[in-house]
Amino acid sequence: MPLLVMKFGGTSVADLGRIENAAKKVQLEVERGYDVIVIVSAMSGKTNELVGWVETTSKLYDAREYDAVVASGENVTAGLMALRLQEMGVPARSWQGWQVPINTTSAHGSARFVSIPRDHIDAKFAEGFKVAVVAGFQGVSAEGRITTLGRGGSDTTAVAFAAAFGAERCDIYTDVDGVYTTDPRITAKARKLDKIAFEEMLELASLGAKVLQTRSVELAMRFKVRLRVLSSFEDTDETSGTLVCDEEEIMESKVVSGVAYSRDEAKMTLVSVEDRPGVASAIFGPLAEAGVNVDMIVQNISEKNYGTHTGAVTDMTFSVPVNQVARAQKAMQDALDAGIVRYDDLITDTDVAKVSVVGIGMRSQVGVAAKMFAALAAENINIKVIATSEIKISVLIDRKYLELAVQTLHDAFELEKA
C-alpha cells in the first residue's frame, strides 16, 4: 500500500469539530487507496497552558517533569482522532510516543530522534487497520522517561515518520494555505509560494517563520522527504499548498524569496571585557553549558588602557531568546564570581526583535545588504546588530518597529510580485 503522512497542527485540532474536519481529510486519502500515518499536535493553546502550569509550579523546573506534563496535550488529540475515525468507519489506532516507541535522546525539552522501529505499526496495517494516529512532539528516552522535541516539534515527528516508513509525501496541514513570502499575519501583501527550496525554508524556519519547525526541514532535506504545507480549512488536492523541494525543481528564483522575523529576542552586552586570547571561549563556554542559545555575536574594536583597566578591553554583544535572559545573566555572574571572565557591566535590552531576508539568489547577487539597510534607514529604523550568511541577512532592531520593518523589506524587494 502507498503510504501518506498527514500532520495536523494545533488550530487544525482545536476542538471536536476541527478534529472531525481533519478526520474527513484522512478518510478521503484512505478512500484514494492510501494507508495513512496521522501525526497530531495538542489542541491550540493547550501546550502553552501546560508550560504555564509547570513554570508557575516550579521556576527552575526539573526538565523530566516538564516533559511529562507538556507531552500530555498530544495524547488527548491522538486518542480523539482515532475515535473519530473509528466512528466514521475507518479502522484506526492511536499511539503515544513510548508505545511506538519513538526513541529519542534524553535532552529533555529538545530531544532528538534515535530510532523509530516500524514493527508495531506495520503489524497493525497488516491486520487491516488503515490509519495509525501518532501523538506528535514526544518520544521516550533510553532511561524510559517521556521526552519532547521542542516547540513546534510535531512537524519533525511527521517528517521522521515519513522518512522511517518511506511515505510518498508528508503533508503538513495548518491554518495557512502554504508557505508565504512572509508571515501573512504581518502584511496582506504576503504571497503564497508554490515551491520553496529546502535551504531557503531551513533559513526562514530557523530565523523565526514558525510555519515549520527547523528540524523538520533539516530531516526532510537529509532523507529526501517530499514535504508539503497546506490548509486544513480548505478543500485540497495534489496541487494545493507549498512544496518544499530541491533547488533544481524551482524555475523562478528571486534574489530574496522571503522575510522572517523573531519577536522575542534580547540583546546583552558585556562592557569592558579584557581582550585576550580565550576570552570568547570564557564567555560562550559557560553560556553553552547553561543551555543558552546564543545567536548573533559582535565584538567591538578593543580600546587600550580604558578606565581602570590596563591592557586592552572590548565590549562583547550577543543576542539570546528573551526567555533565556535570566539563565544567561546567571551564567555570566557565576563566570565573573569564579574569575573565568572579567567585565565591568552587563547591559540587557529585552525590547529587540530580529528581521531577516532570505534567498538563495543572494549567493550570486551583490547589493542586497545595501538595499536592505537603505530601506530600513528610510523608515528611520535603527539597526543594532547585523549578521549575514551566504543566503541571509539579519538585523536586530527595536521591537516596536518589527511590523514596519517586515512590511518595508517586503516592499523593497518586491516580494508581492511573482
Residues of this chain that interact with ligand ASP (CB under 6 A) are: 9-10, 41-42, 47, 73, 136-137, 151-155
**Which CB atom, from 10 or from 258, has the smaller least distance to ligand ASP?**
10
> What is residue 253's three-state secondary structure?
coil
Q: What are phi and psi of 240, to 5 degrees?
A: -75, 160
Out of 118, 189, 210, 226, which residue is the one contacting ligand ADP (CB under 6 A)?
210
Q: How many helices (H) and strands (E) does the chain have?
A: 12, 19
Residue 175 contact partner, candidates ligand ASP, Mg ion, ligand ADP, none, CB within 5 to 8 A by sort of partner? ligand ADP
Residue from 208, 257, 193 nearest 414 by CA: 257
137 is a site residue for ligand ADP (CB under 6 A)? no
Distance CA 305, CA 285 (A): 26
Which helix (DSSP H) or strand (DSSP E) does residue 317 occupy?
strand 312-321
Closest approach, Cβ 236 to ligand ASP, in A, equals 20
Closest approach, Cβ 392 to ligand ASP, in A, equals 24
Burial class (CB in 10 A: 0-12, 13-18, 19+), 32: exposed
Out of 5, 10, 134, 314, which residue is the one contacting ligand ADP (CB under 6 A)?
10
**Of the ranges 179-187, 281-289, 377-385, 391-399, which one interacts with ligand ADP (CB under 6 A)?**
179-187
Distance CA 273, CA 312 (A): 9
153 is a site residue for ligand ADP (CB under 6 A)? no
Residue 136 contact partner, candidates ligand ADP, Mg ion, ligand ASP, none, CB within 5 to 8 A by sort of partner? ligand ASP
187 is a site residue for ligand ADP (CB under 6 A)? no
Closest approach, Cβ 370 to ligand ASP, in A, equals 38
Distance CA 391, CA 196 (A): 14
Per-residue cell: 392: 541571509
Distance CA 73, CA 57 (A): 18
Helical H segments across 295-358, by residue range = 325-337
Out of 24, 32, 120, 185, which residue is the one contacting ligand ADP (CB under 6 A)?
185
DSSP strand E in 86-145: where?
92-95, 103-104, 113-115, 131-135, 138-140
Residue 180 contact partner, candidates ligand ADP, Mg ion, ligand ASP, none, CB within 5 to 8 A by sort of partner? ligand ADP
Binding site for Mg ion (CB under 5 A): 9, 152
23 to 42: interface string for ligand ADP, x by CB under 6 A: ------------------x-
**Which CB atom, from 113 or from 318, has the smaller least distance to ligand ASP?**
113
Out of 209, 270, 316, 381, which residue is the one contacting ligand ADP (CB under 6 A)?
209
Q: Which residues contact 134 (CB under 8 A, 6 or more apart)?
A: 37, 38, 39, 40, 78, 94, 95, 97, 100, 102, 121, 157, 161
Site residue total, ligand ADP (CB under 6 A): 20
Q: What are phi and psi of 63, to 5 degrees?
A: -60, -25
Closest approach, Cβ 212 to Mg ion, in A, equals 7
Tell me, what amino acid is at 272? S
Residues that bind ligand ADP (CB under 6 A): 9-12, 41, 152, 174-176, 179-180, 182-185, 204, 209-211, 258
